[in-house]
Chains A and B, each alone.
Chain A
Amino acid sequence: MTIVAFVSAIVTAYAYYNYFKANELEKAGWRRFSRISFAIHGVSATLIAFSLFEIIYSHRFEYFYAYSHSSKALPVHYMISSFWEGQEGAFILWIFWNVVLGAILIRVNKIWEAPVMIVFALVQAFLVSMILGVVIGDLRIGSSPFILLRDATQAPIFQINPDFVPEDGTGLNPLLQNIWMVIHPPTLFLGYASTLVPFAFLMGGLITKRYSEWIRPALPWAIFSAMILGMGIIMGAYWAYVTLNFGGYWNWDPVENAVYVPWLIMVAAIHTMITFKKSATALKTSIVLVILSFILVLYATFLVRSGVLGDSSVHSFTDLGLSGQLLIYMLFFAVIAIFFSARAWKHIPTSDKEASVYSREFWIFIGATTLGLMAFQVILPTSIPVWNAIVEGFGGISNMAPPADQIEFYTKFQLWFAVVLALLTAVGQFFWWQKIDAKTLKDALITPYIISVLISAAIIVLTKVYDWQYIIVVLAGTFTITANSVILLRLVRRATFKLAGGSLAHIGLGMVLIGIMFSSGYSDVISINMSGLTYSNSWEDELNKEHVLLWINKPTQMKDYTVIYRGRQKKVVGIPEYVPAKILESTDNINEALALADYKDYFKKGEMVNLVLEENDYFNVEYYQNETLKFSLNPMSQFNEGMGGLISSPDSKIYFDQDLYTYVAAMNDHSDPDWKEDEIYEAAPGDQFHVADFVTYFDGAEVLKEVDGYILQEGDVAVKAKLRILDYDVEKILEPTFIIRNNQVGKIPVIDSELGLKISLENILPEDNKFVFKVNQYQKDYVVMKAIVKPYINILWVGTIIMLTGFSIAIFRRFDEFKKMRDKGLEV
């Protein structure tokens, strides 16, 4: 199937080439052939995707892909994430989107079909080759997702039994078990795929010598691409915020940078393209930017997937041996693009007129330049591992490493660039809608300027922003918001909402800027450890310990809150709240547990309940203010052997004006306790004594008629002692049992893993009226937690939504424009 897709891609490219070259008589024939060939390609690509999903869905663990990315316990929507967890699946997704885009282009465009589709088909051929998995001699082309487990691994079991099929897969990385991971990758890959469209139009334009006409059909797609890429980035950031525990939404990790950079360039390209449409300048810049955005996406793929990042990224992929292929893919298109643009360079119309300071072209150009510099500043250090690889490739030694504090390093540039951008958008928008000179500009800007200074002053005073850098950010942000709102109001008043895309997107930008400033600049770690522990080293005392240790049930002060950790919980199918883990005992079946006690109206003792992902523990942490319970948070963690231990996800309390973000950094492992030596206590009913540090009451004992799990026979005696143990405000009843049968003694101890206690009733001394208890201690349950307050993060999220809305309106408008021209037969 893969081979069909590969061959049909090449055939399509060839056919479209002939269609393009053919004379009028043969054109129709070649076009039909080309379309059929593309259809075959499309169908086979879809079938590849379908087969891979089928393998995962039907748990065919004889296939390596299903074995290593899925498991039986996985719900269906997460199987979708398994699909693209592996690189091969991601490539299939990319291929699939290209097919969809190609099909749309064939339908929508008339005369651009041939040149555009040649580029498409060539790209597809390269992409499909990534999953080809063909071995010719020593040369391996692509990595197929359809290899069998026995071919993928050298596990000894296959020598004993070649037909061995594992019972279960190793599962999906729990970090990806998140709803955002179901939709984020397709969005991002649609973004990746869509950068091809403007590029293909550009190539088509260069080949057919229509050097400027390609802009019109390409523009809506460029905006589409920027919107989808932007959406993918935001979803990724949001996913990181809600599932990863690095404490934020953006980490300047190479993987993130690799998407951010093409997005910046694409946004710059949009602006120069629009300028060109208005005034016939900036064509060359647009050409360069469109090529760059496409090549940068390939470069991003190369960075992330070739293993070259090595240990500089937390989540880079391992090398599947595709780096050579990716490099060829990237260089092929880079060379082609450079060749065609160089050939056409002197024919490309330019305007010699010096752009006036009072023209929009000038400001747009500065804006695009700023975007370009932003991209440059990010891609340069991100490429340090590549630089090392090149130097080493030539036999040199390079020990350059990425900046130690990435966040600080990138922020100090990007923040100021973003401020410049915000100011430019505010000024630029006024030029956009009218030709103005210095005086009218001043008149137009003075009102928004005064308004924004007033608003900023209010913000600064109310939220206590006293850092001069942040004050400037607030000013720039509010300025762009007010200036663009003024434009927006004018447009709405004239009822031309269709044109509002630009100002909306820019308002979004201003909000994003302010949101980032507050949520990152003023993020406040409130979980400062106050355990009062003194350390043996004086330097260690000076360090801020940014985590707190919470023993179960023990109130701990954390800034304005008193927090109490209350124990672990599980998620049960059909129950909207979390259920304490201590009343659930896991069975041998996957995701099934036995109820050890009644729980509200949901289930009764002895019933079997179904768990949602049994490995997940939710740690219940209650937050008190003034002795009253305000809310509780349940950060999650999963102990996953296959994935390398503990993986945890944060939980946040979301307020209108801030988020309280918490996650578990370490927890007690009580699966295999290391019990301390025996402690023996003698007590009479009614006695009070101390077990470990706990005040314990021995309330008495009773003779049992029946014992869970034992069949009592005639003459057996079973006695249950009732111990009441106080742990802060919690009272626990522990009831060890003692059975005598034919002078043999049987003891049923009780284990409380929350308190870390094992108690058994050792002996009964009737003459003294005393009971003998044996106690072993382990460790009370605890979590180590971090809590951060992130103010006004909602401004960021709302800003991104507004920005994306702006993009959508712009797409609609530009596509409409294109369609009208096309239907008039003016699609030159």
Chain B
Amino acid sequence: MKRGHVIGLGIIAIAIVIIMTSIGDASSYENFTTALEMKKGGEDKAIHVVGHLKKDPAGEVLGLNVRDDKVSFTFMLVDNEGIEQEVFYNEPVPADFTRSESVVVIGAYKNDEIFIADKILMKCPSKYQETEVQAAGM
């Protein structure tokens, strides 16, 4: 076999390893029901759940519970299927958290009651979609 072929095969092998690990390490979007099933099925992999904060009709966030030392908190997230779940996040409350339109939590169930987020992504009302112009100076 020529050396060129060996190298070519090597490259293909590495490329396959890369593709396989990319698929293997890729996370997935779930909802709380499927996430809980995964946990019960013994899967501990971190997954993404998209949802929004639980709010009362006036728009106040419900279920936000900041620990006394202010370095962690729990909150209620409602996923796209409408299922509520208490989520724990081991970081201070992000500044624009209560304003967010939708929240993506990346993490896994710790036990049946609590979902632990390793990371939170927030979509905040974008400036581009803002239709209210401040009437200052009127």
Query: Using a CB–CB distance below 8 Å, which chain A residues touch chain B?
Result: 67-68, 149, 153-155, 157, 161, 164, 166-168, 170, 311-312, 314, 318, 320, 354, 357, 366, 369, 373, 376-377, 380-381, 384, 399-405, 409, 413, 529, 531, 533, 535, 537, 539-540, 543-549, 642-648, 665-666, 782, 784
Contact = CB atoms under 8 A, between A and B. Distances in A.
Contact of A354 (B3, B47, B129): B3
B125 interface: yes
Contact of A153 (B3, B26, B111, B131): B131
Contact of A369 (B11, B110, B128, B129): B11
Interface string B18-44: 110110011111100000000000000
A167 B71 contact: no
Nearest to B72: A545
Contacts of B9: none
B22 A381 contact: yes
Interface of B: 2-4, 7, 11, 14-15, 18-19, 21-22, 25-30, 45-48, 50, 67-72, 88, 90-93, 95-97, 99, 102, 104, 106-107, 110-111, 114, 118-119, 121, 123-138
B59 to A, nearest CB: 15
Contacts of B106: 401, 404
B108 to A, nearest CB: 9
Given A157-B135, A645-B99, A311 B121 contact: yes
A826 B88 CA distance: 70
Contacts of A529: 69, 71
A166 B134 CA distance: 7
11 contacts: A311-B121, A369-B7, A404-B47, A539-B114, A544-B90, A546-B71, A546-B91, A548-B71, A644-B96, A647-B95, A784-B92
B29 A399 contact: yes
A644 B124 contact: yes
A811 to B, nearest CB: 30
Contacts of B132: 155
Given A373-B11, A549-B71, A401 B48 contact: yes
A537 B114 contact: yes
A643 B3 CA distance: 58
A637 to B, nearest CB: 8
A68 B126 CA distance: 11
B85 to A, nearest CB: 15
Given A318-B129, A645-B99, 8 more contacts: A318-B126, A380-B19, A405-B118, A531-B69, A533-B67, A539-B110, A546-B91, A784-B70
Given A311-B50, A373-B11, A376-B15, A170 B127 contact: yes
Contacts of B67: 533, 535
Nearest to B128: A318
B10 to A, nearest CB: 9
A153 B126 CA distance: 13
A381 B20 CA distance: 11
A376 B114 CA distance: 37
A360 B133 CA distance: 64
Contacts of B47: 401, 404
B70 A166 contact: no
B26 A381 contact: yes
Contact of A373 (B18, B119, B133): B18
Contacts of A380: 18-19, 22
Contacts of A399: 28-30
Contacts of A318: 126, 128-129
Nearest to B133: A155
Contacts of B107: 404
Contacts of A68: 127-128
Given A166-B137, A380-B22, A404-B27, A373 B15 contact: yes
Given A166-B137, A646-B96, A366 B7 contact: yes
A311 B121 CA distance: 7
Q: 7 closest pairs, A vs B, by CB?
A: A646-B95, A167-B137, A404-B46, A644-B96, A666-B92, A645-B95, A645-B96
A807 to B, nearest CB: 27
B88 A540 contact: yes
B71 A547 contact: yes
B89 to A, nearest CB: 11
Given A373-B15, A404-B47, A645-B99, A384 B131 contact: no
Nearest to A412: B21
Given A166-B133, A357-B3, A665 B26 contact: no
A667 to B, nearest CB: 9
Contacts of B130: 153, 170
A529 B91 CA distance: 11
B26 A400 contact: yes
A540 B72 contact: yes
A401 B28 contact: yes
A380 B17 CA distance: 12
Contacts of B99: 644-645
Nearest to A313: B121
A373 B28 contact: no
Contacts of B111: 539
A357 B6 CA distance: 13
Contacts of B126: 318
Given A166-B137, A533-B67, A644-B95, A311 B102 contact: yes
Contact of B136 (A154, A167, A531, A645): A167
Nearest to B118: A404
A268 B37 CA distance: 46
B27 A401 contact: yes
Nearest to B30: A399
Nearest to A404: B46
Contacts of A161: 138
Contacts of B48: 401, 404
Contacts of B93: 666
A401 B96 contact: no
Contact of A666 (B28, B29, B70): B70
Given A68-B127, A164-B138, A167-B136, A413 B18 contact: yes
Contact of A533 (B68, B88, B90, B119): B68
A486 B48 CA distance: 50
Nearest to B31: A399
B17 to A, nearest CB: 9
A539 B29 CA distance: 25
A642 B133 contact: no
B127 A642 contact: yes
B103 to A, nearest CB: 9
A153 B102 CA distance: 23
Contact of A545 (B30, B69, B104): B69
A782 B92 CA distance: 13
B26 A403 contact: yes
Contacts of A377: 18, 22
A547 B127 CA distance: 31
A381 B18 CA distance: 10
A402 B70 contact: no
A68 B130 CA distance: 10
A149 B136 contact: no
A49 to B, nearest CB: 22
A644 B125 contact: yes
A648 B94 CA distance: 11
Given A149-B133, A166-B137, A549-B70, A404 B45 contact: yes
Contacts of B127: 68, 170, 642-643
Contacts of B14: 373
Contacts of B3: 354, 357
Nearest to B14: A373
A601 to B, nearest CB: 36
A805 B26 CA distance: 38
A399 B131 CA distance: 32
Contact of A665 (B68, B91, B110): B91
A533 B110 contact: no
A641 to B, nearest CB: 10
B69 A311 contact: no
B95 A545 contact: no
A549 B46 contact: no
